Structure 1
């Protein structure tokens, strides 16, 4: 086994890139408001920030709400997007670390570490310097390849399932009122 002990900053950094808010929409902007607790992903943003620019995030980045980290709000970026300053955008040092980074940050152990170092009482925030000291295993190249062979297809399937759920929800929302009002009649359908 070629794994070595390291810290989070060995496999990622915080995004320092900026993106124009005009390039974002309610599906590509993440804030603490539209990120869901208990690792449940996100919903559409209700609005965009009034600033000209915000933090840019790329496919393979991991977003974590930095306010009240005990809510465990985490999102894996599937596309180019942006996030508020209250969301930490973790960018892998190399693209092959993207899934490994997400799985490392997804653990309850990581969130407990983040909460232990948080500052403030009413609206605690994670300590960005302390977070980067989180201990991680640095996998050997072949171990990372084996992990990615499983992890990337799983992440793609999760994203596909999420898109299908949104499509089905929109279809339900369009059809249900018509069924309830009698505009659509399905009594002759043989199942």
Structure 2
């Protein structure tokens, strides 16, 4: 059994004042790292008065050039550029499970296949919400997310060890 992505999440629509943000709480496609690498500190803030807001546990995905696979599970509240899609899990859906669904290479492949434009392709927001995901109980969503999080933490630890050994 499958869900459409729109059955388990929605795009966040709230706005936030730029004056409430700083380089640590603003996310743009420039400070999102490719290949699911997370984020770095922003180098600047936009000049407009308001921008897209996000909340802790939302999933942020760069909508420009989806093949770069820029995704981040929000660990704090903040604001982001309009080129970043903010996915919010619906009631009864585990937000970490949603993150892992969207971090799957098949999601990025689907996003590219349905994107618009050639030089700077952008994901089609309507088509993205038609992406099919497994229909699992909340209990299984949590189990899957817990297992994948353990693996991610081990990978991160190994990267740190490798960096220390290289130094």
Shared fold (TM-score, shorter chain, > 0.5): yes
> Shorter-chain-normalised TM-score: which range?
0.7 to 0.9
90, 100, 104: which one pairs with 1:103? 100
Any gaps of 5 or more consecutive residues in structure 1?
166-191
RMSD of aligned Cα (Å): 2.1
**CA distance change for structure 1 residues 9 and 96 in 2, over 3 Å: closer, same or farther?**
closer
Whole-angstrom CA distance in 2 between matches of 1:110 and 1:36: 17
**CA distance change for structure 1 residues 114 and 83 in 2, over 3 Å: closer, same or farther?**
same
Q: State the partner residue of 1:21.
A: 18
Matched pairs, number? 157
82, 87, 90: which one pairs with 2:84? 87
> Could you tell me the TM-score, scaled by structure 1's length?
0.75
After the TM superposition, which segments of 4 or more aligned residues of structure 1 sit over 2 Å from their partners?
Answer: 144-155
> Could you tell me the TM-score, scaled by structure 2's length?
0.85
Whole-angstrom CA distance in 1 between matches of 2:142 and 2:118: 42
1:147 CA displacement = 3.0
Which residues of 2 match residues 33-182 of structure 1 at below 5 A? 33-94=30-91, 96-150=93-147
Larger radius of gyration: 1
Any gaps of 5 or more consecutive residues in structure 2?
161-167
